[in-house]
Amino acid sequence: MSEDLPNPESRITLKDGQVMLDRKRSNWDAHLALVQKLKEKLWLADYPVVLSRAFDRRTPSHQCGTARMGRDADSSVVDPFCRSHDHPNLFIFDASVLPTSAAVNPALTVAALAIRAANHIAQTRLA
């Protein structure tokens, strides 16, 4: 498994009430080189049959980056505490605020961000 790096050409849109995913692959050559190297190492370790299959558009996993986090409102949607730059009463704590998942399941990172943001809200907005 490798990381599909952020690509500004990828889009999620609505068309006739349906969510449309237009994902542009990135880092594909590096992925193929990694798969080949892994196969070579497994063959050397006496695994004669090694199968691999890339995910296709039907199996996007760990989508991130649609509402990126950052300090600059021109290049991000939420601040470091997951608060919207444009709508001060809106907080987003899901994987969309992460620029990338680093090729792993981001669930624990998302949980940590949610706890951090909730603590920030409790300490600054609800106190």
Annotated catalytic sites, by residue?
Answer: 62
DSSP 97: G
d(CA 112, CA 120): 12
d(CA 12, CA 118): 27
Cβ burial of 5 (10 Å; 0-12, 13-18, 19+) is middle
DSSP 99: S
